[in-house]
Structure 1
Amino acid sequence: MHDFLRTFFDLHEILQVLPTLLTEGLRNTLLIAALAIAFGVVAGVLLAMLLLSRRRLMRLPARLYVDVFRGLPAIVTVSLVGLGLPAAGIRPFGREALGYAVLAIALISAAYSAEIFRAGIQSVPRGQLHAARSLGMPYLTAMRVVVVPQGVRNVLPALAGQFIIDIKESALVYLLGLGLGQRELYFIAQERQAATYNSSALVAAGLCYLLLTIPLTYAVNLLDRRMREGRRTPVTAAPAKAVA
């Protein structure tokens, strides 16, 4: 029991690594996840529009993208983007590993966000589109002004859930060998564990992830409940009529 506690809950090791986790690691984890979900939202809306297109030539590339990046394990995508692209001479971010890390997670996020937006747009009654078209709006304008905003509102809880997934998947970018100042939570903890052969740093990193994901999970559940039930307005009794 003593060896178990010393391996996983060594207070000295936790206190040694915690400041770096809370400053550098937490900052970069949130940065990667935030940029990934921002890209995912923009690209996801565009992909969803293509998936819903009546033209087969527009649907097929979007469907291929979504199927590929949803089907591949995240660790394979991170390796292909972060290690494969620079090896092939494609270096849009130069030697900055953090840029490739964001791109890899963002490509995955865009594929899942596309399916989220597609489902949200399809949940909007077709009558909304027909009504907009009857007022003389072109198809794209009707989708942009009337249908898409309603669809986005319907999938806000799912998008928040995708942000939680992006936070957890950011741990995979340790494969890219991030430099000082760019390391995320898992990379810092894994380096410490490799140097000390003690897993307490990984436990500390796990606690940091839980501090991020558990409140967000409850917030997503609350948002989902509010979206489904709507805000309840108190019912007040009508004033009694005066008797003459």
Structure 2
Amino acid sequence: MPQEGLVDLGLWGALHRVTPIYLAGAWLTLKLTVVSIVLGLAIGLLVALMKLSRFGVLRTIGSAYTWIIRGTPLLVQIYLIYFGLSDYGIVLEAFPAGVAALSINSGAYLAEIIRAGIESIPRGQMEAARSLGMSYGQAMRRVILPQAYRRMIPPMVNEFVILLKDSSLVSVIGLQEIMLNSRQFASATLKSVWFFGYAAFYYLVMTTLFTTLGSWLERKLKEYE
């Protein structure tokens, strides 16, 4: 699309012209976020269980992971995965590199949410399940986690919204999502308010959808209590 002629179309004409590109960028942002959420939840659950383990080595590894990831900027983690791994012959394209960075980062925060949720369930629940002949894994899966997840939903939804907004950082490695498109259009036309404002509108719509879905899920879970 010729970017130089966008200014001549005026604000609404320019935004109408670039809408298909923004929609494609928003779709890519949603895919990036959803895949990262799924992987981040898996990482978070694993790390949370490690931190709750009776084995000191696993607790140490889990604690070190959350300490390092939560203590360093996501942008640095993106650069390390995309550029740093290439020094060792591991070359990732922008999308898998972005997913890896977001998943690893989100997993550290979700681990703390899951750990706190599990610890909020009275210890007697686990003891009662074990007395019925369940293994630790069965008790966790059938008794503890179903109760804990209801308490985790609000902070998890908040983390998912943060992850969606943080996905804008992957534009630095060339992933053609909303922010990279906005930077390109703003640079070509010198109309930063137009295009970054339009990006803010898309992020606002997507975060509203996430929070609305989270509120609906929270209400549904309360109906089964």
TM bucket, shorter chain: 0.7 to 0.9
Q: 2:177 aligns with which of 158, 177, 184?
A: 184
Q: 2:207 aligns with which of 191, 204, 213?
A: 213
1:90 has 2:90 as partner: yes
Distance 2:189 2:86 in 1: 32
Distance 2:223 2:150 in 1: 15
Displacement of 1:75 in angstroms is 1.2
The residue type equivalent to 1:201 in the other structure is: F
Distance 1:150 1:53 in 2: 19
1:204 has 2:198 as partner: yes
Displacement of 1:156 in angstroms is 1.7
1:140 has 2:140 as partner: no
Identity of aligned residues (%): 37
Distance 1:87 1:174 in 2: 21
The residue type equivalent to 1:70 in the other structure is: R
Which residue of the partner structure matches residue 69 of structure 1? 69
Distance 1:43 1:144 in 2: 16
Which residue of the partner structure matches residue 169 of structure 1? 166
Higher RCO (CA-CA < 8 Å; seq separation 6+)? 1
Displacement of 1:231 in angstroms is 4.2
How many residues are matched? 216
TM-score normalised by the chain length of structure 2: 0.88
Larger Rg, first or second structure (1 or 2): 1
Equivalent residues in 2 for 1:99-178, closer than 5 Å: 99-178=96-175
Distance 1:136 1:11 in 2: 66
Equivalent residues in 2 for 1:217-228, closer than 5 Å: 217-221=211-215, 224=218, 226=219
SS of 1:33's partner is: helix
Displacement of 1:21 in angstroms is 0.3
1:11 has 2:12 as partner: yes
- C-alpha RMSD of matched pairs (Å): 2.2
Displacement of 1:83 in angstroms is 1.9
Higher helix share: 2
Which residue of the partner structure matches residue 3 of structure 2? none
Which structure 1 residue ranges, 5 or more long, are not aligned?
1-5, 233-244
TM-score normalised by the chain length of structure 1: 0.81
More displaced, 113-122 or 73-82?
Answer: 73-82
Distance 2:214 2:133 in 1: 38
Which residue of the partner structure matches residue 40 of structure 1? 40
List per-residue Cα deviations over 1:23-64 (Å, max 9, x = no partner).
x20111001100110001111111110011122111011111
